[in-house]
A and B are shown apart, each in its own frame.
Chain A
């Protein structure tokens, strides 16, 4: 199996966000909101960190 860096990020963020959503909130609506928040934070954080590393190198 091969994954690109970005698809690995998406899979990691998705499954982790599902678990965080279920375990960190008690009502289903808030679970979905928190899961979506975590997903966006994971992906956006990774993209931001990637650009930061690119900027440091150049």
Chain B
């Protein structure tokens, strides 16, 4: 009888997990995620990626700023309309930009000129892109994406 396994053979080393200690950052993934959400690019800055951080900050900030300059609608959570709630969730993705806008009472609560519809979309997409960037910072910190 021929056996398919050899008991005398040395044990094969186990495969390394995807998030090995060598690629894992000392920054906690949760902190990178929160910082990246609150200030666009801050998560990458904590992970010592200043160029990426600057590009993210400028891109997301510019989109939010263009949206405000075009008199885009800034969504609020309390209207009861489902689409407004979704818009609020997307706007909230901009973190400090959205919070500052609400605190300083900037922005418009409704679309008043034709171009403002574009502005609304710029603000919403800025928030969504910032969420993507914050999740990317989390992935870098956890080692799921190589640093």
A residues engaging B (CB < 8 A)? 1-3, 8, 11-12, 15-16, 18-20, 22-23, 26
Contacts and interface: CB of A to CB of B under 8 A. Distances in A.
The DSSP consensus for interface residues of chain A is: helix
Given A1-B66, A3-B70, A3-B115, A19 B122 contact: no
Nearest to A9: B118
Interface of B: 44, 52, 55-56, 59-60, 62-63, 66, 69-70, 115, 118, 121-122, 125, 129, 132-133, 135-136, 145-146
Contacts, number: 47
A19 B70 contact: no
A19 B146 CA distance: 17
B59 A12 contact: no
Contact of A8 (B55, B60, B118): B118
B70 A1 contact: yes
A16 B129 contact: yes
Contacts of B44: 22
28 contacts: A1-B66, A1-B70, A2-B115, A3-B66, A3-B70, A3-B115, A8-B118, A11-B62, A11-B63, A12-B63, A12-B121, A12-B122, A12-B125, A15-B60, A15-B63, A15-B129, A16-B59, A18-B55, A19-B56, A19-B60, A19-B129, A19-B132, A19-B133, A22-B52, A22-B133, A23-B136, A26-B145, A26-B146
The DSSP consensus for interface residues of chain B is: helix
